[in-house]
């Protein structure tokens, strides 16, 4: 099994905290550039088939290599819903032609409230998209303004109604993204989120801490994040969501049981995934792939019909650490017999000192074959993971 | 003309940046002592750090030949260090000369350092030849500076050559004045040997090599000699002169400047200022002025990586071979582990040595706040010398304490006199004198505790006078003072490496500042960390580092894996540099950051 991530770097406007690779409005309207990008993207998907030996088993073919099955596809950005719908359809078609995509694969598209229309949503679902992730971030207009978002809370509610309708008619589900720790954010902001989750029967919420990245407008404005403020809000959110049956299954992700994101879980399980598009990353059997961060470099490379990614083989010790680092993000932690099988080593023996110290401090819970972070110690995850490095 | 009448021994004295080293280079060039292709700018400053900082610490003499009016003269140029920490070394190299070229910057005029060294040279009875340098600069005001030299120092500057060492203007005039105005040395080559050691360095093949000036008698190859200070006897293995390479000779006679090696294993046995005499026929008394180098500023030095304690010891031993003024002994700190208590002549000396340890020996160090040496008299009548705050007995056992006092000379433009006086008052200074030297210059004389000077006095003086003021000081003795030990508690445990001895009236403010600083530099931990500043059992300041609560809520998706791992690896590196104080992790920088306050 593996996942595929597709990066769409176009946005109407750039948010004040965003450091993802994306281009703001003028370029989004630059039809030539968008077209060039999708040409390159389609080429990359085609070329990667040879690279990863993932030829599709066509009927009656005698392909020797069994291609890995794809069980999730994720369009992220940028704002994938800002570009012409047909581009998304072509990409998805190319992926399905190139790889063995499972019938019931989870196919997610990131959207923002302003760019959604009923017509667009129908088209997306016709392509096979069955999950939407809506970037709400907040239901407080002042906060949205501060973040430089192009929408307000009314726009968000309109978009949620559209999504709810689509869910009723097609079964395509949706999730909302929320930001924690924005200056002046209060618990009542979270209460509004909870009300909305209840009202629209939302089954999945991702809540990330606002991080001030270098080079962003918020960084330049010297915005300070108060860790305690963020942590207070986080704890309150965990509690509130838990009350309405959205359980934390990863540090920042909450879902009604059975609605966890397959795509994201695959990252935290340290599974294989391919990344397409500018700045996208992939990971296949211990090798990290990274595409160029600059749009023109990415397009130029692919116009020579060459894959643009840089490969780095992770040594076993690094893989082991990455495995732990990601798997401990999950509420359930991981089963270390799986770790032992994967790396041919003895987890408990290898990390004996760290495990003893961490469990003595009640930071982790160690059972016969599982290790996980103590539920109320998630805010110290980095400190915990460091002990394994 | 006899041999000795054709010798001139001189040095160059100048304020830092006034162009001493460049002038020395020009003189060497002009006498063709070094082939042009071997000239490297500022030849005499041997070490990298000296060259980078533009200061001279080590003295490296050079012997030159120069033909003047048909006579070939031997000129010995002895370079001098240019910083307050090295006053004693300066005085000893001056004692090896008969003349001093005084370099004054044509735009900046006379500064404290210049004056301090001029007085030393006058005390040593040297003929002083003023030279006005940097006349090629647009802001040069040579005639005003000439008058300044006459007014402030009282020297006749009417003959002072106007030169530019950088541009090579009028250098010959300096050499000719040295020959015409500096008296030749006097000495009796048949008298018992007296040779002054004015520096030494360690050579891994030859052992300690002494830089010497022969005053009386003859120093010969193979001769049995002894040191006056400790009566140790040696056989001379090599004598010679600096051209500027070491060039061996059969003997050195009165007036000669050169070097000697005698299989001496340690530079501590060739102390600067000591007198070498003949073992068989010793001189009756030593040359005057010898003092054992006494460290005045102390600090703890610890390797960040505890496993490198042995390397640190080896490095200190190597540096000590070359610098008898470095003192060190093993020391253990609960917070910092095994390290050394080290003593230095002054702050600059301390900075230079710690920098050399890090640079030349590739060590990462924690250096604790500098301290001075206190005299403690206990109630039982014991007299103790305490240079490590941790060793101070409890206050109940102390009858009284004394701290070292310096006489500080500060030169400042009149506009800043108020600022300087305020600063000195803040630093417990007592004004002794104030002189308006001319329209642009005031000389303030203060008595200030050395304890305050080593803290941040110089930095503050510079910032409050926009860099215009200059400072020189000399230690004048000890005075009784109300001193207390200020301890820092982290989660209830004393962190010994953060203890300081401070005046009672300053303790509250210092305690508060250190506590605030620590709150900034100690990262949040798994539990709350109270920081307390205490004197004995009394808490005078308190801060808290709150428990760590989050650092994990950021997204972690596919593309972030490598980034996230690298971030954690960086954190891990930082953690390695942490010190454990009880259960609290303290970054190494914390121990040093308390030395510097921006306020």
Using one digit for the tens of pLDDT, what is the confidence trace for B140-186? 999 999 998 888 788 899 999 999 998 989 999 999 999 999 999 99
The whole-number pLDDT of residue B556 equals 67
Tell if the CB–CB gap between A382 and B568 is shorter than 8 Å: yes
A185 or B579, which is more confident:
A185
Tell if the CB–CB gap between A208 and B546 is shorter than 8 Å: no
The answer, yes or no, to whether residue A171 has pLDDT greater than 80, is yes
Structural domain includes residue A49: yes
Structural domain includes residue A281: no
What mean pLDDT comes out for the span B492-496? 90
Band of residue A240 on the pLDDT scale cut at 50, 70, 90: very high
Class in CATH terms, B375-480? alpha beta
Band of residue B96 on the pLDDT scale cut at 50, 70, 90: very high
Band of residue A24 on the pLDDT scale cut at 50, 70, 90: low
The whole-number pLDDT of residue B241 equals 93
Structural domain includes residue A275: no
Tell if the CB–CB gap between A227 and B569 is shorter than 8 Å: no
B553 or B333, which is more confident:
B333
Domain that residue A378 falls in: 332-389
Band of residue A26 on the pLDDT scale cut at 50, 70, 90: very low
CA distance B521 to B533: 16
Domain boundaries, given as residue ranges, for chain B: 3-181, 194-278, 297-367, 375-480, 484-593
Band of residue A71 on the pLDDT scale cut at 50, 70, 90: very high
The answer, yes or no, to whether residue A58 has pLDDT greater than 60, is no
Nearest to A227 among B549, B556, B557 (CB): B549
The whole-number pLDDT of residue B102 equals 93
- A123 shares its domain with A199: yes
The whole-number pLDDT of residue B15 equals 74
The answer, yes or no, to whether residue A61 has pLDDT greater than 50, is no
Last residue of a domain, one of A246, A266, A286: A266
Residues 6+ apart with CB under 8 A from B467: none
Superfamily holding B297-367: Elongation Factor G (Translational Gtpase), domain 3 (3.30.70.870)
Band of residue A359 on the pLDDT scale cut at 50, 70, 90: very high
Nearest to A325 among B546, B557, B565 (CB): B565
Structural domain includes residue A175: yes
The whole-number pLDDT of residue A60 equals 42
Per the DSSP assignment, residues forming a β-bridge with B538 are B535
**Whether B554 contacts chain A with CB within 8 A:** yes
The answer, yes or no, to whether residue B75 has pLDDT greater than 90, is yes
Closest residue of chain A to B568, computed from CA coordinates: A386
- A252 shares its domain with A356: no
- A257 shares its domain with A340: no
Q: B484-593: which CATH topology?
A: Alpha-Beta Plaits (3.30.70)
Residues 6+ apart with CB under 8 A from B180: none
Tell if the CB–CB gap between B568 and A325 is shorter than 8 Å: yes
The answer, yes or no, to whether residue B188 has pLDDT greater than 70, is yes
B3-181: CATH number: 3.40.50.300
Number of domains present in the structure of chain A = 2
Q: What is the pLDDT of residues B405-414, one digit of tens each?
A: 999 988 888 8
B10 or B205, which is more confident:
B10
pLDDT, mean over chain B: 86
The reply to whether B484-593 shares the fold of B297-367 is yes
**Whether B546 contacts chain A with CB within 8 A:** yes
B57 or B342, which is more confident:
B342
Q: Is B173 left (phi over 0), alpha (psi -120 to 50) or beta?
A: alpha
Q: What is the pLDDT of residues A298-329, one digit of tens each?
A: 999 999 988 888 999 999 999 999 999 999 99
Nearest to B575 among A180, A209, A386 (CB): A386
CA distance A217 to A221: 6
- A163 shares its domain with A237: yes
Closest residue of chain B to A314, computed from CA coordinates: B562
Contact list, A180 vs chain B (CB under 8 Å): 553
CATH number at residue A49: 3.80.30.20
What mean pLDDT comes out for the span B240-261? 92
Last residue of a domain, one of A221, A244, A266: A266
Task: Give the closest-approach CA distance of B532 to chain A in angstroms.
Answer: 22
Tell if the CB–CB gap between B565 and A208 is shorter than 8 Å: no
DSSP state of A349: H
The answer, yes or no, to whether residue A65 has pLDDT greater than 70, is no
Task: Give the closest-approach CA distance of B451 to chain A in angstroms.
Answer: 39
Structural domain includes residue A303: no
Tell if the CB–CB gap between B552 and A288 is shorter than 8 Å: no
- A237 shares its domain with A349: no
- A242 shares its domain with A345: no
Rg (CA), chain B: 27
Task: Give the closest-approach CA distance of B583 to chain A in angstroms.
Answer: 12
Percent of chain B with pLDDT over 70: 91
The whole-number pLDDT of residue B547 equals 82
Does residue B460 contact residue B423 with C-beta atoms inside 8 Å? yes
Task: Give the closest-approach CA distance of A369 to chain B in angstroms.
Answer: 25
Band of residue A66 on the pLDDT scale cut at 50, 70, 90: low
The whole-number pLDDT of residue B22 equals 84
The answer, yes or no, to whether residue B84 has pLDDT greater than 90, is no
Contact list, B524 vs chain A (CB under 8 Å): 227
B142 or A24, which is more confident:
B142
The answer, yes or no, to whether residue B47 has pLDDT greater than 70, is no
CB neighbours (10 Å) of residue B458?
Answer: 17
Class in CATH terms, B194-278? mainly beta
Tell if the CB–CB gap between B555 and A252 is shorter than 8 Å: yes
Nearest to A230 among B524, B550, B562 (CB): B550
CA distance A101 to A103: 6
CA distance B53 to B48: 9
B128 or B579, which is more confident:
B128
Percent of chain A with pLDDT over 70: 93
**Poorest-pLDDT segment among A24-28, B114-118, B135-139:** A24-28
- A58 shares its domain with A178: yes
Task: Give the closest-approach CA distance of B332 to chain A in angstroms.
Answer: 27
- A140 shares its domain with A230: yes
| Segment of A252-261, B123-132, B440-449 carrying the highest mean pLDDT | A252-261
Last residue of a domain, one of A243, A266, A289: A266
CA distance A43 to A21: 20
CA distance B389 to A47: 70
Does residue B353 contact residue B90 with C-beta atoms inside 8 Å? no
Does residue B565 contact residue B340 with C-beta atoms inside 8 Å? no
- A248 shares its domain with A355: no
Structural domain includes residue A291: no
| Segment of A28-42, A60-74, A284-298 carrying the highest mean pLDDT | A284-298
The whole-number pLDDT of residue A59 equals 45
The whole-number pLDDT of residue B430 equals 96
**Whether B547 contacts chain A with CB within 8 A:** no
Band of residue B317 on the pLDDT scale cut at 50, 70, 90: confident
The whole-number pLDDT of residue A63 equals 43
Contact list, B556 vs chain A (CB under 8 Å): 251, 267-268, 326, 329
A172 or B596, which is more confident:
A172
**Poorest-pLDDT segment among B185-199, B269-283, B565-579:** B565-579
- A43 shares its domain with A147: yes
Structural domain includes residue A243: yes
**Poorest-pLDDT segment among A179-193, B131-145, B451-465:** B451-465
Supply the pTM of this predicted model.
0.63
Nearest to A281 among B553, B555, B558 (CB): B558
CA distance A331 to A169: 33
Tell if the CB–CB gap between B568 and A281 is shorter than 8 Å: no
Q: What is the pLDDT of residues B7-31, one digit of tens each?
A: 999 998 887 667 777 888 888 888 8
The answer, yes or no, to whether residue B114 has pLDDT greater than 60, is yes
**Poorest-pLDDT segment among A123-132, A182-191, B80-89, B533-542:** B80-89
Contact list, A279 vs chain B (CB under 8 Å): 559
Band of residue B587 on the pLDDT scale cut at 50, 70, 90: confident
The whole-number pLDDT of residue B590 equals 81
pLDDT, mean over chain A: 89
Q: Is the dihedral of CA B166, B171, B177, B180 positive or negative?
A: positive
What mean pLDDT comes out for the span B61-68? 91
**Using a CB cutoff of 8 Å and minimum separation of 24, what contacts does B382-386 make?**
B386/B501
């Amino acid at each position: 099994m593996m996942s595929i991530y597709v990066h769409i770097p176009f946005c109407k406007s750039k948010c004040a905290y965003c450091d993802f690779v994306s281009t703001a409005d003028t370029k989004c309207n630059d039809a030539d550039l968008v077209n060039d990008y999708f040409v390159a993207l389609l080429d990359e998907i085609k070329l990667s088939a040879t690279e990863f030996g993932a030829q599709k088993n066509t009927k009656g073919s005698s392909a020797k290599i069994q291609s890995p099955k794809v069980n999730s596809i994720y369009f992220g950005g940028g704002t994938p819903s800002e570009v012409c719908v047909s581009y998304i359809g072509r990409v998805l078609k190319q992926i399905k032609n190139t790889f063995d995509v499972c019938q019931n694969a989870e196919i997610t598209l990131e959207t923002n409230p302003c760019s959604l229309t009923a017509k667009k949503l129908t088209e997306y679902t016709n392509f096979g998209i069955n999950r939407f992730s809506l970037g709400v971030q907040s239901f407080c207009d002042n906060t949205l303004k501060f973040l430089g978002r192009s929408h307000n809370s009314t726009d968000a509610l309109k978009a949620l109604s559209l999504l709810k309708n689509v869910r009723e008619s097609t079964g395509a589900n949706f999730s909302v993204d929320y930001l924690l720790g924005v200056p002046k954010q209060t618990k009542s902001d979270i209460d509004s989120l909870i009300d909305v989750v209840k009202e629209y029967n939302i089954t999945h919420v991702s809540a990330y801490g606002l991080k001030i990245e270098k080079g962003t407008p918020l960084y330049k404005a010297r915005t300070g994040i108060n860790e305690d403020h963020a942590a207070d809000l986080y704890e309150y959110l965990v509690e509130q969501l838990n009350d309405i049956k959205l359980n934390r299954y990863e540090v920042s992700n909450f879902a009604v049981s059975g609605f966890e994101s397959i795509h994201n879980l695959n990252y935290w399980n340290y599974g294989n995934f391919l990344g397409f598009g500018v700045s996208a990353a992939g990971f296949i059997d211990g090798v990290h792939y990274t595409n160029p961060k600059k749009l023109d470099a990415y397009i130029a490379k692919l116009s020579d019909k060459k894959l643009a990614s840089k490969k780095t083989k992770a040594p076993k010790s690094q893989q082991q650490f990455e495995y732990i680092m990601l798997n401990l993000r999950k509420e359930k932690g991981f089963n270390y017999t799986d770790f032992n099988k994967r790396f041919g080593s003895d987890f408990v023996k290898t990390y004996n000192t760290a495990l003893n110290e961490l469990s003595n401090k009640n930071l982790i819970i160690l059972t016969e074959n599982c290790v996980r972070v103590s539920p109320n110690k998630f805010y110290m995850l980095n400190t915990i993971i460091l002990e394994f490095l | 003309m006899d041999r000795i009448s054709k010798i001139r021994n001189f040095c160059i004295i100048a304020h830092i940046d006034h162009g001493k080293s460049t002038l020395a280079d020009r003189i060497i060039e002009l006498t063709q002592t070094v082939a042009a292709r071997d000239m490297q700018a500022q030849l005499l400053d041997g070490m990298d750090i000296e060259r980078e900082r533009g200061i001279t610490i080590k003295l490296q003499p050079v012997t030159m030949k120069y033909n003047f009016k048909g006579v070939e003269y031997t000129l010995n140029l002895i370079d001098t260090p240019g910083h307050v920490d090295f006053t004693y070394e300066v005085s000893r190299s001056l004692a090896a000369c008969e003349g001093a070229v005084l370099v004054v910057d044509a735009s900046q005029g006379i500064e404290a350092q210049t004056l301090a060294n001029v007085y030393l040279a006058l005390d040593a009875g040297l003929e002083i030849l003023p030279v006005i340098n940097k006349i090629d600069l647009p802001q040069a005001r040579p005639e005003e500076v000439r008058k300044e030299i006459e007014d402030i120092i009282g020297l006749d500057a009417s003959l002072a050559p106007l030169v530019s060492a950088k541009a090579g203007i009028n250098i010959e005039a300096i050499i000719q004045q040295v020959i015409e105005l500096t008296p030749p040395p006097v000495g009796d080559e048949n008298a018992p040997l007296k040779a002054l050691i004015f520096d030494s360095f360690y050579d891994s093949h030859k052992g300690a090599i002494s830089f010497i000036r022969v005053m009386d008698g003859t120093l010969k190859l193979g001769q049995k000699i002894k040191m006056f200070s400790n009566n140790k006897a040696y056989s001379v293995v090599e004598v010679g002169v600096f051209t500027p390479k070491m060039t061996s000779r059969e003997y050195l006679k009165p007036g000669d400047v050169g070097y000697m090696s005698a299989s001496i294993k340690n530079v501590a046995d060739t102390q600067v200022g000591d007198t070498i005499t003949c073992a068989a026929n010793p001189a009756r008394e030593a040359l005057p002025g010898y003092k054992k180098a006494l460290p005045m500023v102390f600090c703890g030095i610890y390797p960040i990586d505890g496993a490198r304690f042995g390397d640190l010891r080896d490095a200190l031993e190597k540096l000590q071979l070359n610098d008898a003024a470095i003192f060190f002994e093993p020391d253990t700190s609960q917070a910092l582990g095994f390290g050394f208590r080290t003593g230095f002549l002054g702050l600059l000396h301390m900075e230079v040595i710690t920098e050399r340890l890090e640079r030349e020996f590739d060590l990462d160090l924690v250096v604790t706040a500098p301290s001075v040496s206190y005299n403690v008299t206990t109630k039982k009548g014991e007299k103790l010398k305490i240079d490590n705050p941790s060793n101070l007995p409890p206050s109940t056992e102390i009858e009284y304490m004394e701290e070292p006092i310096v006489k500080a000379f500060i030169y400042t433009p009149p506009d800043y006199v108020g600022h300087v006086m305020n600063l000195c008052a803040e630093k417990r200074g007592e004004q002794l004198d104030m002189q308006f030297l001319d329209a642009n210059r005031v000389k303030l004389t203060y008595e200030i505790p050395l304890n305050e000077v080593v803290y941040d006095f110089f930095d503050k003086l510079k910032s409050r006078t926009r860099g215009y003021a200059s400072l020189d000081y000399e230690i004048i003795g000890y005075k009784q003072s109300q001193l207390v030990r200020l301890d820092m508690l982290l989660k209830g445990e004393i962190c010994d490496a953060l203890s300081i001895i401070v005046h009672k009236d300053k303790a509250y403010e210092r305690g508060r500042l250190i506590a605030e600083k620590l709150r900034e530099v100690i990262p949040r931990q798994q539990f709350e960390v109270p920081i307390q500043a205490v004197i004995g059992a009394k808490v005078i300041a308190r801060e808290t580092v709150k428990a760590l609560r989050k650092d994990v809520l950021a997204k972690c998706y596919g593309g972030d894996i490598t980034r996230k791992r690298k971030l954690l690896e960086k954190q891990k590196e930082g953690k390695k540099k942490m010190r454990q104080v009880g259960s609290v992790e303290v970054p190494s920088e914390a121990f040093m950051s308390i030395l510097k306050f921006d306020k």
